[in-house]
Every structure is written in C-alpha cells, then in structure tokens.
A and B are shown apart, each in its own frame.
Chain A
Amino acid sequence: MSWLNIVIQGVMLGGLYALFAAGLSLVFGIMRLVNLAHGDLIVLAAFLILGLVTALGLNPFLAALVAIPIMFGFGWLLQAQLLNRTLGPDILPPLLVTFGLSIVIQNALLEGFSADSRRITVGPLESATLSLGPINIGIMPLLTLLSSVVVIVSLNQLFYRTSLGRAFRATSDDRVTAGLMGIRPDRIFSVATGIAMIVVTIAAFYLGTRANFDPTIGPARLIYAFEAVIIGGLGSLWGTLAGGVIIGVAQAFGAAVNPEWQILAGHVAFLAVLLFKPRGLFPRSAE
C-alpha cells in the first residue's frame, strides 16, 4: 500500500469523523454543552433511516432526506424539554444527564432492534470506485468527504451570514446581553440542537452505508467526534474538519502497520496534539 493511498483513505475517513463531529462542534461552541449521547444519537438516526428503508421501501438517500426533519424535531424537543434544564454554572448536570441519555438510547435500541449488526445497503454504489491514475477512490467515501465539506461550508454560511448565525454567536459570547437584544437563549439552543441533529442524520447515513452498525457503537463515535472537535479547537468548524482528517489519517497509518492498532493510533494522535496544544489547533481567540 503506497503512502499516498493510505493518506487518501485516511482523509476520506476523516470526512466521516468530521461529519460525526460537526454537530457536536456546533452545540459545544454555542452552549458549552457536552452531549455524551451524541454518538448514540447518530446510531439512533441510522436506525431511523434503516427503519424508513425497510418499512416504506424507500431508497436510502430518500430515507435520509425524510429522516432529516424528523431528527430536527427530535433534537429541538430534546433540547427544549430536557437539556435546557441542565444548563447552568455546574458542569455535572449536563454531563450526567446526557450520560444517562446515552445509556437509555443504547438500551432502548437494543430492546427495539436487538444486538444484531445492521447495514443500510445502497446497492452497487457501495463498491463503486473512481480511478484517478494509480489510486482507486471509493465513491461512497468520496461522497462522505464531499458531504462533510458541504456541511461545514453551509454551517459557516449560517454562522457568519445569517441573522440566526449572529444570534448563535452572540448567545455563545454573552447569554445575558443576548437577552437584551431580544434573543431567547432557550429557543436558540433548541434550534441549534435541531440543526445539529440534521448533521447527525447525514453522518448516520454515511455511517450506516459504510459498515455494519449495532446499538452499542455509539460511544466510540462520540469519542472520535470529540477528539476531532478538541483537536480542531473550540469554535472552528474548519478546525473540526482538520481534526477529523488528522484522526482519520492517523488511524489509516495505524491500520496499515497492524489492523489491531487502528483505533489506538487515532487516540495517540489525539493525545499528542493535546499535549502540545491543549486548546486545539485553531481555537477561537475569544476563549
């Protein structure tokens, strides 16, 4: 396997991790909420898409589109009814409540769908590849990377060019003064989580089509997502993409040396970055 091939595989894997992380980055950036159930929400969305495919016979891409507004609503409700109650000066309630939520989602899925591995099939697209000289690039992984870029560009547009985005940034800076502008923090947070769930659904689609999934793989996705966010630095969505790519490439190199070392390599890369840059690579200076 050539170095180039490994790097390319790693970059595309990084796109998937960036998708995992983008929603988390949004929520963490705006309301400093650490949602320990984030990975399980991705798995939940994957099961939702799978359910729509099997129950309604929908094409997977279409099923994902249908799942998006459903997950938006779910995220909005989750924040409005549950998570908003945990926000405050104490870091314990959000951590512990979302931890409990993670357990609840995992076991609810286990009860509903059993521990069997599932897959969302996209037919011939799964193994389709693109030939670029000596390199073969899988179509789905390429789509994943492109989607992650599109998502991040869109989120940046939202953040920096819209009135809602201004409200996000203002609320993140100073919740009280944002209130003086007529911004209701609770509503802003609910919208933010809803948007995060849209990204989660897109991530779930690529997760579910790429490999087998089951109700228990959530926590591992959460860790990759968080590592990407932390490496990238709080408040930077492009940083999150960079973080995802770093982990993806590290994992690719680790796997090339020894398949058992793939995940470990990712973690080591994370710890190494944190050792030298505890605030990440591109932190927003306002922190």
Chain B
Amino acid sequence: MALLETRALTASYGDFQALFGIDMTLDAGETVAVVGANGAGKTTLMRSIAGVLRNGSDQIRFDNEPIGALPAPEVVERGIAMVPEGRRLFPSLSVEENLLIGKYGRAIEGPWSLNAIYDLFPILRDRRNSPGTALSGGQQQMVAIGRALMSNPRVLLCDEISLGLAPIVIRDIYAAFPRILASGASVVVVEQDIGQALRVADRIYCLMEGRVTLEGPPAALSREDIHAAYFGASRS
C-alpha cells in the first residue's frame, strides 16, 4: 500500500481547470520528482496534497485515509509538510522563530529539532536572530526546508526549491537530502530542472497541461521520452 497516493485528482481555480485526473503514488522511503513546464499543474498538485486547495475527499489518500477535502492545518497534523514555492518565510519572524513555528501544528518527538536543523544547515545557527527575509535566497530556502522538517513529517513536499538559486547553492541544498530521507521522511520534489530531478528521484512523473504524460524510474526514461512528455509531441 502506497504511503501517499492520488486517484483521478482534479483541481480548478474557479472556471479554470488545472488538473485533469492525476494518478500518483509515493511509497515509504521513496523520492518522487514531478517535472513539467510552467503552468503544467505541478504547484497545483502540491497545493492539493497539502490541503491549500480543497479536492474530492477520496482523491488523495494518505496512509490509506482520505484527506483530499481536509484543510492545510489538518493535513500538517497528519504528517505531510510542504516547503512552498517561493519559500514564503514570515517577515515578522526571525530565522529561529520561522523554524519554531514549523512545529506549531504538529509538535511530536522525532529526529528533527532546532539543533538538528542547525546541524543540517550550520549557516542558519549564525543567523538565527536575523529577520527571516534578511537572508540570501539559498539561506532562505534552507530555513523553509528546516521549517517544514520541524514537524517531523512523514512526507515532505518540496515545491521548486531550486528556483532562482545559483547552481552551487542548489547542490548544497540537495546535498541535505540523504539525511532527510534517512530520518524517515518520504519526499516529493517539484522541479523545473530535469537534470536535478533525474539525479535525486527514484521515480519521475511528468505533467503537461494538468495530465500525467510520463512516469517511471530515471533509468527507464530516454531523453526523447522526457522531451516529448515535457513539451508535448507535435502531431504530424
């Protein structure tokens, strides 16, 4: 039984439909990547799972329980945490306070504590009292990830964590992933950088215009397959 799965997941913004029936699974201990062009529906998918969007109750199942219609606070309580697109740190909170607020809704014992986060991203310990938004992009991303980890989630959703960051910074951030996985979290990563996704994922889903166009482990997918699934094959 998959830890997290979506069944024929649909989502709309008013009259505009963004997802047209997504089937996706995440097993315990896996890292799954979701790739696709801008507007393909990747963030919508993440927001649906995280509870920011309300979907059909049975369209999203976590630990075999329907969570599709639950609001975000309740999803967090069950153990799904999101690192939102654009990081979205709280400007009124310091770095340390941003981390602490991560466990507001789910304060359970686990491998992730304030000290553990500082061990993972040592630079944050030095900047712990700075306002959250006074840090560089990469450091803010570390805070956002740490904030999500503070709830000791079973599933971590990472939405475009490499966006706007320099390659070397991206490498540093992804270098933390093995430790995140080792702590017992399963990860869904949304990436525009296909290379990065191929490197880090056990399986990849490709979305285009709200539908899954390709799925499989990196080894089984050729560059042509991915290209076609990402951009859409031209019909001749």
Contacts and interface: CB of A to CB of B under 8 A. Distances in A.
Q: Do A and B come from one complex?
A: yes
Contacts of B77: 182
Given A163-B100, A163-B104, A166-B101, A182 B76 contact: yes
Contacts of B102: 181
Interface string B83-122: 0100010111100010011101110000000000000000
Interface of A: 163, 166-167, 169-170, 172-174, 176-184, 284, 286
A179 B52 contact: yes
A204 to B, nearest CB: 30
Nearest to A183: B104
Nearest to A165: B97
A173 B105 contact: no
A180 B82 contact: yes
A286 B73 contact: no
Contacts of B73: 179, 182-184
Contact of A170 (B52, B92, B106): B92
B92 A179 contact: no
Contacts of B141: none
B104 A166 contact: yes
A181 B92 contact: no
Nearest to B97: A166
Contacts of A166: 93, 97, 100-101, 104
Nearest to B50: A180
Given A179-B52, A179-B72, A170 B84 contact: no
A178 B88 CA distance: 10
Given A166-B100, A166-B101, A167-B101, A177 B106 contact: no
20 contacts: A166-B100, A167-B101, A167-B104, A169-B93, A169-B97, A170-B92, A170-B93, A173-B90, A173-B93, A177-B84, A177-B88, A179-B51, A179-B71, A181-B151, A182-B72, A182-B73, A182-B77, A183-B101, A183-B104, A183-B105
B103 to A, nearest CB: 8
Contacts of B100: 163, 166
A180 B92 contact: no
A286 B91 contact: yes
Category for how many chain B residues contact A? 20 to 34
B81 interface: yes
A286 B91 CA distance: 7
A184 B73 CA distance: 6
Question: What are the nearest 3 A-B pairs in CB distance?
Answer: A182-B105, A179-B72, A182-B76
A8 to B, nearest CB: 35
Given A173-B93, A180-B52, 19 more contacts: A163-B104, A166-B101, A166-B104, A167-B101, A170-B101, A173-B91, A176-B52, A177-B84, A177-B88, A179-B52, A180-B76, A180-B81, A180-B84, A181-B147, A182-B77, A183-B101, A183-B105, A184-B71, A286-B91
A174 B88 contact: yes
A183 B73 CA distance: 6
Nearest to B52: A176
Most buried by B among A182, A183, A184, A284: A182
Interface string B56-73: 000000000000000111
A180 B72 contact: yes
Contact of A182 (B90, B92, B151): B151
A181 B104 CA distance: 6
A75 B77 CA distance: 27
B76 A170 contact: no
A133 B76 CA distance: 62
A133 to B, nearest CB: 43
A286 B104 contact: no
Interface string B22-45: 000000000000000000000000
A169 B106 contact: no
Nearest to B80: A180
